[in-house]
Structure 1
Amino acid sequence: MRAEECLYISNTSLTTLPDTGQKIPGEGNISLKKMTAAQLRQLRKDVDVALGARQRQDLSDAKAAAEAAAGKFGFSLADLAGKSSGRANPRPRQNTGTPAI
């Protein structure tokens, strides 16, 4: 199994997927204690790559969900962030009568 796939490390063994409880296919549990230092370093690199890919995908999914939510109200994410995209009319500032210093 490649690290790009979901791995769950529990009690120093790779056993099941956390979200589904599915057992990892292959030769059963993989004991981290039985792995060589080189294998553990490679696993760490593979996990780092998989983690980076997962974080990028999660960010992309979050942006898409936020854009969809803003769109339901007729706004863009830029509108909500205060960067007008020309779609919404920003409210003018009200004069409070206090002079600016």
Structure 2
Amino acid sequence: MVKLLYFITTIAILSLINFISSYYFQFSFIDLALPVGVLGILATAPNNFLTDFFNSQPYMEVEQERHAKFGKAPIYASAAYTLYAVIFIFVYYRSYFF
């Protein structure tokens, strides 16, 4: 249940970031969906420079083992958001592709 909550929260945060940035920069929501999804993947994926930048404590010590703070749910949510963005971009701009 907690993993589902992390998944839904990550999707909601990415959508909110996409909505705010599209409103601020006067772009279409669909145009910024892919970059926001890729940045979401970079921010949640382990072992990259953005994970340490956005999360000052990416790991917490529990019983002498290292466990990820949120697990893999945010990574999967960011990847799903990016995949849906690619699909919706393709559908939205299908006249350019065909």
Larger Rg over CA atoms: 1
Which TM-score bucket, shorter chain as reference? Answer: 0.3 to 0.5
Structure having the larger proportion of residues in helix: 2
TM-score (norm 1): 0.36
| Structure of higher RCO (CA pairs closer than 8 Å, 6+ residues apart) | 2
